[in-house]
Amino acid sequence: MSGTDSHSSLVVVVMAGGRGTRFWPRSRNARPKQFLAIVGEETLLHQTVHRLEGHVAPERIFVVTTEDLAAETRRMLPELPEENVIVEPEGRNTAPCLALALVEIEQRFPEGVMAVLSADHWIGDREVFLEDLDTAVNHAAKARELVTFGIKPTYPEIGYGYIESEGQGPVFKVKAFREKPPVEVAIQYLASGRHYWNAGMFVWTLADFRAGLQKYAPEVLAPLDAWVEAGADPAALSAAYSQLPRVAIDVALLEKAASVAVVPTRFRWSDVGSWPAAIEFQVPDGDGNISQGETLLLDTHNSAFFGGKRLIAASGVDNLIVVDADDALLICHRDKAQSVKQIVERLKADGRDDLL
């Protein structure tokens, strides 16, 4: 276990600009996944920040989000200094997002080691997470390598990128980043013991990050450096930002860098990509049901009720996912949760922007 001061140099950047309606009707354009309490009582954003409590001081925690989500993000995190919520003029993928964080942070914490986390992932074991974070921070500070986290695959997922490792642990060398594989390849990766899911969490010194961007992705950094040199006028950021390429940090930097390390994680992790994923990590009652909010269940099994303001009474139903929102209600078979996408598309086609 790590104490508060184990890494006086640690600075955390939480990426919180995510979008998506896979958790419709709870998630909306203006209320993306990180703002939802879909696993546990707290929102994923709260969980991400509160997980660091006692380990990282609030003034060393930064959240990057977009203009339209900034007010709600600040409201949800009153413990952070207001200026620690960094506002992107628009979402342009993760490389611009993290480059902006770099130029905002490096003058305040020039010796900082920067850990990049996602606001909308679920992590099951706080202490283990903090230990793994320490391992990565130590390695980044001492070996001066870019460090990624690798999640041990539990099934042949085809929707994630993979990290192929080599060498000896506890910190491995990245042999290669592998794109989303076809299922046959994913099965091989799962069997190899050397492949990890790329969860988009990174640790590096601010200096190494700057050097890496300057070398491999100067087009992501130069317009921001020019903006800072010109006085960092907030009103001028939009123009600078619009020059940045829309590119992921993996592509812009990590896949090109000479030497990247990977820390295999030991904590339970999920990017909570769908309603069934939100259910998976919760402990059901004796009938296999999960209840959020008040429920009254008779002869009901293997179902999940995401209520809140209203009582949900159910009788004689199995394998349902029920999601109650103020202006819409979703009832779907547990195996049909992917149809949320169809529902959202239908609402779009019908011009029901009020529900999106």
The smaller minimum CB distance to its own copies, of residues 152 and 352, is found at: 352
Q: Provide the 3-class DSSP secondary structure of residue 198.
A: strand
- Least Å distance, CB 49 to its own copies, is 32
Among 314, 348, 351, 353, binds its own copies (CB under 8 A): 314
Of 342, 349, 353, 356, which one interacts with its own copies (CB under 8 A)? 342
Q: In this chain, which stretch among 43-51, 114-122, 234-242, 304-312 interacts with its own copies, using CB under 8 A?
A: 304-312
Which of 71, 230, 329, 353 touches its own copies (CB under 8 A)? 329
Of the two residues 207 and 355, which places its CB atom closer to its own copies in the complex? Answer: 355
**351 binds its own copies per the rule CB under 8 A:** no
Please report how close the Cβ of residue 356 comes to its own copies at its closest, in angstroms.
11
User: If you ran DSSP here, which 8-state letter would residue 301 be given?
Assistant: B
**Rg, C-alpha atoms of the chain:** 21
Do the Cβ atoms of 343 and 24 come closer than 8 Å? yes
Q: In whole angstroms, how close is the CB of 326 to its own copies at the nearest point?
A: 7
Cβ proximity to its own copies: between 168 and 315 the closer is: 315
Query: Are 266 and 128 contacting, i.e. CB atoms less than 8 angstroms apart?
Result: yes
Half-sphere CA count of 44, side-chain side, radius 13 A: 28
The answer to whether residue 78 forms part of the interface with its own copies (CB under 8 A) is: no
Q: How far is the CB of 122 from its own copies (least distance, A)?
A: 24
Taking CB under 8 A as the criterion, the residue among 25, 32, 212, 223 binding its own copies is: 25
The three-state secondary structure class of 165 is strand
Smaller CB separation from its own copies, 140 or 320: 320
Cα(91)–Cα(311) distance, integer angstroms:
38
DSSP 242-260: TTS----HIIIIITT-S-E
Q: In terms of Cα–Cα distance, which of 56, 39, 55 is closest to 47?
A: 39
Peptide bond connecting 25 to the previous residue in cis, omega within 30 degrees of 0: yes
Q: Which is nearer to its own copies, 152 or 310 (CB)?
A: 310
Q: Rounded to 5 degrees, what angle do the CA atoms 319, 125, 71 make?
A: 80
CB 10 within 8 A of CB 113: yes
Please identify which residue in 111, 127, 326, 353 interacts with its own copies, judged by CB under 8 A.
326
* 29 contacts its own copies (rule: CB under 8 A): no
Q: Does 313 bind its own copies (CB under 8 A)?
A: yes
Classify residue 157 by its DSSP letter: -
The residue from 90, 281, 307, 356 that contacts its own copies (CB under 8 A) is: 307
Q: Interface with its own copies by CB under 8 A: which range of 101-109, 163-171, 246-254, 323-331? A: 323-331
CA 224 to centroid of chain Cα atoms: 24
Would you say 236 or 296 has its CB closer to its own copies? Answer: 296
250 vs 324, beta carbon nearer its own copies: 324
* DSSP letters spanning 52-101: TTTTS-GGGEEEEEEHHHHHHHHHH-TTS-GGGEEEESS---HHHHHHHH
* Residues at the contact surface with its own copies, assessed by CB under 8 A: 25, 296, 298-299, 307, 309-317, 320, 322, 324-333, 335-336, 339-340, 342-343, 346-347, 352, 355
